[in-house]
Structure 1
């Protein structure tokens, strides 16, 4: 088992402990580290010696920059600390009240493309080591991005196609519909981009950290948990600013100073996203567990009593 997973097993089994860890891992300054520094930090974590407080920076760098299946450094823009600075401008722009369909499609295309890349880079790749990305996977990612882009721009498409002029109906399309739509598309993005994990299975480990074999049941559970966490992230990110703006628009001060609404919307979207990223990452353990009786029969016979462990991905 990778040293990163062993650390999560020891330190990240409760929500509050995971939240504390993720708050420190999402520091963007770790993006400045070189690959050599990352590999050195990962080697230190896997050295078998107890890590002291002076080595806390190395632990943070390893957990935030190294893929737990391949032990390779993650692509810079798809590391967890890069999610907020990379996605915040795209999320803010995609939630803007656009006047036409083209800008809505453009920003949705950028957002959904980045999320698909992030989901793919942080997947469980234990069954794919040494293999190149298949054409099927490429087509699946392209199809996911295309569908999510069109669906994400659906509120603006409906406003333009139907010629909506009513303020209450426009409010519904711009402020209410994006909330369940954002959550559903985030769920769909993870579910489709990482569908191979449920089809081929992912590596499961016994309580001692020894690999047991590939389990489709564990793969389905890992993808489902990650999809739910991502739906929570983008659903609440869409809900909080929209609800805040709807409340403030009833205030006389904001009615007299309507120009303040737009910057407040942008700031609140970025704030909600930054607040929800560590919370959504902490909803489920990075090193998940699955009961022995819930995996395939061939794996049940290979282990003693107790749960099996798997890398959930991110």
Structure 2
């Protein structure tokens, strides 16, 4: 049977606005003070009473992400913060995957190797703009700003997409559970897995791409004003604050872009499943 939480998403997460409202409530920082016992009790009540009151166990480490989006002058700090960011996001993506096709919860050696490779590659790629500036000895302020600020926008979005897609690649190979409208599992579908991973990867690209873009564009505009030309020290705190602010706004919005309980048409699922079901729409858990 479909999990009670998924049933709630099915009934209350039909529109972007309704999903956004749910995520704003779920990301309440006070939930971090909830004990594991309270969370389990709430979940048990949810399963028995079929009422939603779930307290989310996960929150983003904003200070880590803010530091990763700030421009650095040297390669080592850039690599350090990129490594922390990519490690955290890889762990987050793995922890919030759809594991309905897995027999155990312990990651396999293949999965560990894939995660390590993803983190290593994304760390080096994320530091690439700073590496180019330093290794080539670029002295032009315009070119430096281009690599440190504007080149990071598409790069951040691409790496966020890549992180999700590679860490959760095993879902596409094994498939994920799909359900009928009554919440009954009808089998595993690779097509649904590909759709779920793609949607999550796109939402993460929007999150990190926007978080990289808005502060850079804002600072670029403000630096042309007389106040900021006379007070250059204002740039750093404005950038810090804007990154944290945009990130805080984009987290629930990006989570809400696609339904947690996605839908896929019968003709789009795997052929072996098409003969088993009569309904035209099937459901799957997208993951986060």
TM-score (norm 2): 0.97
Number of aligned residue pairs: give it: 287
Q: Does 1:122 align with 2:123?
A: no
Write the mapping of 1:47-86 to structure 2, written as runs, cut at 5 A: 47-49=48-50, 51=51, 59-61=53-55, 64-65=56-57, 79=58, 82-83=59-60, 86=61
Structure 1 residues 63-114: Cα deviation after superposition (integer angstroms, max 9, x where no partner): x23xxxxxxxxxxxxx1xx21xx1x222222222212100100000001000
Q: Deviations over 1:27-65 (max 9, x none)?
A: 11111111111111111111145x4xxxxxx6141xx23
Partner Cα separation in structure 2 for residue 132 and residue 47 of structure 1: 28
> Where does residue 266 of structure 1 map in the other structure?
240
The separation in 2 between residues aligned to 1:129 and 1:229, in whole angstroms, is 28
Indicate the residue corresponding to 1:159 in structure 2: 133
Match for residue 229 of structure 2 among 244, 249, 255: 255
Q: Distance in 2 between matches of 1:265 and 1:229?
A: 23
Instruction: Report if aligned partners of 1:207, 1:306 keep a CA contact under 8 Å in 2.
Output: no
Q: Secondary structure at the match of 2:145?
A: helix
| 2: CA distance, partners of 1:112 / 1:131 | 22
For the aligned residue pairs, the C-alpha RMSD in angstroms reads 1.1
Larger RCO of the pair (alpha carbons < 8 Å, separation 6+) = 2
1:139-150 aligned within 5 A:
139-150=113-124
SS in 1 for 2:236: helix
Please give the alpha-carbon distance, in whole angstroms, between the structure 2 residues aligned to 1:135 and 1:32.
34
1:92 and 1:270 in contact (8 A); partners too? yes
* Matched residue, 2:35: 34
Counterpart of 2:4 in structure 1 is 3
The gaps in structure 1 that reach 5 residues or longer are 52-57, 66-78
Partner Cα distance (1:249, 1:28) in 2: 34
Residue among 177, 185, 206 paired with 2:159: 185
Q: Say which SS state the counterpart of residue 53 (structure 2) adopts.
A: helix
Match of 1:108 among 72, 79, 82: 82
Partner of 2:25: 24
In structure 1, distance between residues paired with 2:54 and 2:187 = 29
Report 1:189-200 matches (<5 A): 189-200=163-174
Kept in 2, the 8 Å contact 1:241–1:265? The answer is yes
CA contact (8 A) 2:39 2:54 kept: no
SS in 1 for 2:183: coil
